[in-house]
Amino acid sequence: MGQSLTRLRGTLVTRPLQRFNIEGRTEKRFDKDMVERAPYYPSDREILAQMKESNPNFAQEEAKKDDQLYDRLKTVYVSSKDPDSFDPESLKQIENPERPLPKRSYFPSEPFHPFHLPKNVRRLDGKLTLSEMEAILGRRSQDSSYGAQEIAEEYKLKLEDTEALLRYYGVFSVVDNSHVKPVILDNPLLAKPDWEEVEHEPLRSPTVKQIGPSK
């Protein structure tokens, strides 16, 4: 009941009041200056007050064009020259051998593997590239004696990480099932050859006997 009254009040009272003369109120709002200046920071407000006390007309003077200053700016130029003792090689960045900068800054035009890794990129210890992981799993699928200890020593991995790799990851393989005949399941609802047709007597509708009130 309360929700119905609230909805009825919004339809008959609140909404008409909100939309009363909405066009006129909108035009009146647009006629006003909508831009409001942000408040000054306290230190800036103090500096501005001091400037107004020392020179009340500084705002008008700053807005006025100074022809003498413009003429001076036309004759001003800046020239720069390095001293003789300056060595341009000193500004070159020293490359960190532990974190080398990229050498190739262009996209190769020839097609390549989407997970291709450039040869000049050094692999970090304890990490594997996708191609290395594929090589490990592919060799493991063909040679079961290629164990976790040997892989960890060869690729400088932790033994527990290598065991988890061999346990939870694998290479997908394609299985040829063309020689296998598909199994067709019998539909249990279809009649079989060994079924026999049996005739049944027609079903009779049950009779309902009405029991009257006892005398």
Average pLDDT over residues 133-154: 88
DSSP 107-172: --SS---TT---TTSPPPTT---HHHHHHHHHHHHH-TT--HHHHHHHHT--HHHHHHHHHH----
User: pLDDT digit string (tens) for 5-26?
Assistant: 666 666 766 777 677 777 777 7
Residue with tokens 């033994």: 159
Kindly tell me if the per-residue pLDDT of 75 is higher than 60: yes
Domain borders along the chain are 2-31, 42-66, 130-168
Handedness of CA 187, 188, 193, 199 (dihedral sign): negative
CA distances from 141 to 29, 137, 138, 154, 169 (A): 77, 6, 5, 17, 11
State the pLDDT at residue 150: 92
Average pLDDT over residues 170-188: 77
Predicted model pTM: 0.31
Which of 155, 124, 121 shows the shortest CA–CA distance to 140? 155
Percent pLDDT > 70 in the chain is 73
User: pLDDT digit string (tens) for 98-108?
Assistant: 887 777 665 55
Percent pLDDT > 90 in the chain is 6
